Chain A
């Protein structure tokens, strides 16, 4: 029996396979067919969430995630004006960066893409970000989450400074601090008093989404 594919399936599938042109075209088609911007956004998020799941299970790897994220971005460019006119807001805002002294940003970029794939706005502070900068940016952007990434055992200790600076600035109760990177562990998270450690980009996005869902709920 043939199952009819909806336009939303087309969007999700073309995103999962990283097809930029097809993703943009199906997004435009769905909008032309008068589907709401929110429905189209959900289809894009669905595709990205499937990619995230597969990434977590070691079924797809960095190249596949990068081209899926590229397709998502292409779709978002088409969708954005419609989201604005329909008044659809981001589900929350995150500031992200690699900690001071650390320039390894592949992991950070993957986390950023996965979180964006959840309909959350991400402000990318880049690499080698000081604890002060993380906190100032979180305040200026009114972000609900600070995400810190480190690849080196020598730089991961900077994450403790981020927690400390957030406390000093009086925003510790209004911002969650998430940490990750190859040497980071749950016991390290506990030792520095951060809120969440996640072992991979997909889980980071899940946790970020659940934090904002809880806040809203």
Chain B
């Protein structure tokens, strides 16, 4: 099965050969290529190259193209404030004082919508045959709050007719955005509405049910899938959300995914989530990430579930953590044995003798690649391939070995060498790269330096 087929199967309630994996790499994708949030969200080359790198490293079944909930707001005149490591923030709400609802919706060239469309077309051409691509649009409640500010919440009670009018306008924007994105070949339109967790089920039913029902029906009529992304504790709104008939719902760690899945299952809706963004993905280690993913996979079962982060990944999420999660989705048995080995390594006395090479006395540099298992982990495969490439270039002047973590002796070696993350490349016993796969030129330069030092 291709990733795309897996996503289609999951949305259709059919079994998949392995857990469907949809990482949300927005600004984090930029980090993989050394771009800040502003660059990756405004420059087409930075954006596409970063998305392709995320696709290569994390081997996703589904992938959002642009994760920025300010696209529509910006096109409608909201002023944004940019920062280096997170998506921009809306700082001025045009309807805060004057409740003048705009009369026209943004065109395909307004703001950064053109950039999104171009990125979608290019990603479709590059990976669209195997990866299901997600076009993300800002949900009507969140867009309305960008336009109106916090007072929108009080409007629901104090001037409901105004709120209804504004949400009807935001629905029109969402319909149009869905059409633009569908036109580039997006497989899924995800409507992202974090504010939904901040209102009651009664308010959801009164204000959002008609809006969302119409939006998902519109997306359905275009022959593509829809997903409803929410952040925060949306527990009480899961059922009303289901009643608006999206194909999928994605939640974060504030929602008990297993309890919510009972509801989504009863509506034949696929649930996605909900790896903890901060405590696990940002601050945890590889083993903790693999364990969190495996735990979720085991509890959620193999139908109508997609493994995803709770929301857009933090910029600084260590890529090795995401790689560990990908490994759990791609090959849970192997990931389980790796987690086991990690846990044992804390207590295992390792009576296995590990011989650390005497690097300095060797005639040639030694490249040691520590992997989860290069035959099943995409990032490990690329890292090993990069090392083999050096062997092809330098021939007998360099030696390359792979240590797979699936072998107990290698676990002992990792501990002896002090390897913290997998995959990693060591040159003559010194850490050269961890998780990030070096470019050919970078790698060559390091090998040449190492050869020179051996010649001395």
Binding site for B on A (CB under 8 A): 18, 58, 60-64, 66-67, 70, 101, 103-106, 109, 152-156, 182-185, 187-188
Contacts and interface: CB of A to CB of B under 8 A. Distances in A.
A60 B86 contact: no
B157 A63 contact: yes
Given A67-B157, A152-B86, 7 more contacts: A18-B157, A62-B199, A63-B198, A105-B150, A106-B198, A153-B316, A187-B283
A206 to B, nearest CB: 18
A169 to B, nearest CB: 27
Contact of A109 (B89, B150, B203, B316): B150
A154 B86 contact: yes
Given A58-B236, A183-B278, A185-B278, A154 B83 contact: yes
Contacts of B198: 61-63, 106
B17 to A, nearest CB: 34
Given A62-B153, A109-B150, A154-B86, A67 B158 contact: yes
Interface in B305-328: 314-316
Most B CB contacts (10 A, CB to CB) among A106, A153, A187 go to A153
Given A58-B233, A58-B235, A66 B91 contact: no
Interface in B258-304: 277-279, 282-283
A62 B199 CA distance: 6
Given A62-B198, A101-B83, A153 B314 contact: yes
B315 A64 contact: no
Contact of A70 (B91, B154, B236): B154
Nearest to A185: B279
A28 B11 CA distance: 59
Nearest to B90: A103
B282 A153 contact: yes
B316 A154 contact: yes
Given A58-B236, A106-B198, A154-B85, A63 B154 contact: yes
B292 to A, nearest CB: 14
Contacts of A60: 200
Given A154-B314, A183-B278, A103 B89 contact: yes
Nearest to A69: B154
Contacts of A182: 231-232
A109 B314 CA distance: 24
